Every structure is written in structure tokens, then in C-alpha cells.
Amino acid sequence: MTRPRQRLLTLRDVSEASGVSEMTVSRVLRGKGDVSEATRLKVQEAARRLGYVPNKIAGALASQRVNLVAVVIPSLGNLVFPEVLSGISEALDGTGLQPVVGVTDYSPEKEEKVLFEMLSWRPAGVIIAGLEHTEASVAMMKRAGIPVVEVLDVDGEPVDAMVGISQRRAGQKMGDAIAAAGYKRIGFVGTGMEHDLRARKRLEGFETAIAAHGLSIADRTIYAGSSALAKGREETVRLLQRTPDLDFIYYANDMVGAGGLLELIARGRDIPGDIGLAGFNNIELLDGLPLRLATMDACRREAGQKAAEIIAARHIDPKMEGGQRVTLTPVLQKGQTLRPAR
């Protein structure tokens, strides 16, 4: 049996259920005006009982903005970005702003389409991963007339504001630590970097640092697909089959690094004496590994928090000057897979 379609509730329904005027109901539900506590509670209780949800489209037509923050990220499968989202959500709590997420799959063309759709809803602000975008995406963000905060990278020029770490500096710090520990034959495992430009910058910084110590990457393997434990094991095997005398492997991220660690443990290798390894991102999910992986904390949650705080502050005060630049400091976690400096 087909159920009859329910009509949308209106302010009049809440007004009749609570016994107060529609104007008073409107003031209560918008958090505006001088309304007594008893009346406010009466209206809110009636709205909850009825299941009333206000139609904000009408208000948006008047204000030209909705209380949404467009968050554009490359992936939800990569554990990096849920951490960023947690920071954003935490900072926006209680501000009246809500994040809405678009995923680009590391495609600049898809990012352009996602931005077009999200900006068409006239959000209060945009938080977007990275500093590199298509010409059309940059033009849309510049012309949107709202705060735009690019996150996770500060090696470049932002559209408006930016919050994150220097990816090149993070790579340099890891390279310096590996060289200081006395490793000589270094391998690298990473994903294709034609789209993950932050990973490319880290590798550039890493190679610059080890070159200053007279070293270079002896062999590297670049994989396609998602970063996973199985992929880390597979690529570690491939790398060592080609170059068995490697004494260190630097992984583009912790997930493939964890897979490499499990493979080396299974082979009975002495870690970190015979061979060391390190990743990037400091993913807490991997704390239960047999050995703590050397890694770099990329300040993901803090980047999300700071970006959202910028959006919220400028939402409250639209005259506030933009262009904020917040550089966070990546922290090297030596774990148990990188021997002490010699």
C-alpha cells in the first residue's frame, strides 16, 4: 500500500502547535529578537514534536549566502583527510556553520566541477586541500567573494588564506635525520605524483637534504592505486628484489610504510640496525604495530581547526582582512625504525 506523501511543515503549523504568533516562532527559530525563555522553550518543543525543519533557501535568497562551509578534499579513503575534517568540525561547533564535503579523487578537473557545484550554493566559505588548482578553479574562488582557506601546504601562493606545513621542509627534516643516523643506501616507495603535488614537494625536499650529505636515492618504486598495507608489502618486495643492499626505505606515507614494516619483520630483518624505514603523517591507527614507525606529524587536525577558525571569524566580521598565512611546524617522530644519530 502506497503511503500518502507528507506535506512540508510551515511556520503556521508550529505557531498553532505552540500557541504563539508566526512572527514569534520565526524569531525563536532564527535565534533573533527579544523572546521570553518560557516562549522560546514552548516553540522549540513544538518544533521538535512536529519534526519541523526550517527552509533556509528563502533566507539564503535574501542574504545571498547559506551557513555552509564547502570542504574540498582529494579522498575519504586516505586516513589523512578524516583528521582534517575532525578539526574543521570541532572548530565550527557552536558557530552556526556546518561543513559540507566534496571529494575530487586527486583530479584537478573533478575539483573544478566540485567547486562549481558547491559555490553555486553560495557557501559562507571554502576550505580546500592544496595550493595547486586549475585556472578556472582559481578564478571561481577569487570571484566568490567569500573566505577561501587552502590547507596542508604553504609552499606557494594562496588564493586567499592558507594553513599548513611546508611539505618541502618536512621532507628535508626526514632526509637530515636519515643521513644523521648513518644510512647510505636509501630506497623510496611512493605513489604517482602527477596529482599528489604535496607528496612531490616532500620528495623534492628529501632529495635536497640527502644530497647535501652526499647521498641520493639508490632505487625507487612508484605504484598506482590506493595506499594500503598490502601495497606496502608488495612494493617493498619489488624494491628489495632489484636492490637488496638498501639499508633504508622512505615511504611516501605511513600506510605503505606499515606494510613495508610488516614485510621486513616477516623476513626477519634487523630493524633499525640492518635496515631502517620511515613514513609520513603520524597516523594514530598504526600505533599497534610491532614497532613504532618513524614518521612526521603533518598537523592535520590542527590545520583543519585553524582553517575553520579563520572562516568562522570572517563570517562573524565580514570586514575582517583576509590573506591569513598560518605555518605549522611538522614534528619528527623517530619511533623504533630509525636508529639514533651517529
- 336 located within any domain: no
Summary mean pLDDT of the chain: 89
Q: Is the pLDDT of residue 167 over 90?
A: yes
> In whole angstroms, what separates CA 7 from the centre of its chain?
39
Q: Regarding predicted confidence, which is higher, 33 or 44?
A: 44
Tens of pLDDT, residue by residue over 230-286, are: 999 999 999 999 999 999 999 999 989 999 999 999 999 999 999 999 999 888 767
pLDDT at position 252 is 92
Residues 251, 155 within the same domain: no
pLDDT given at position 1: 45
Residues 191 and 258 grouped into a single domain: yes
C-beta contacts of 5-10 below 8 A and 24+ residues apart: 8/55, 9/50, 9/51, 9/52, 9/53
Answer yes or no: do 247 and 180 share one domain: yes
User: What are the CB-based long-range contacts (under 8 Å, 24+) for 18-21?
Assistant: 18/42, 18/43, 18/45, 18/46, 18/47
Do the beta carbons of residue 163 and residue 155 sit within 8 Å? no
CATH number at residue 138: 3.40.50.2300
Q: What is the pLDDT of residue 206?
A: 97
- Considering the domain architecture, whether residues 305 and 161 belong to the same structural domain is answered as yes
Range of the domain at 179: 167-297
Based on the fold, state whether residues 307 and 292 are members of the same structural domain. Answer: no
- The answer to whether position 238 is within a domain reads yes
Higher-scoring residue by pLDDT: 167, 56: 167
In a domain, 111, yes or no: yes
- Claim to verify: residue 116 and residue 145 sit in the same structural domain: yes
Eight-class DSSP state of 35: -
Q: Tell me: pLDDT of 3 over 70.
A: no
Average pLDDT over residues 204-227: 92
Give me the number of domains the chain comprises: 3
Asked whether residue 204 is assigned to any structural domain, the reply reads yes
pTM over 0.75: yes
Helix (H, G, I), strand (E, B) or coil at 263: helix
Q: Let me know if residue 60 belongs to a domain.
A: no
260 and 190 within one domain: yes
Is the same domain home to 198 and 279?
yes
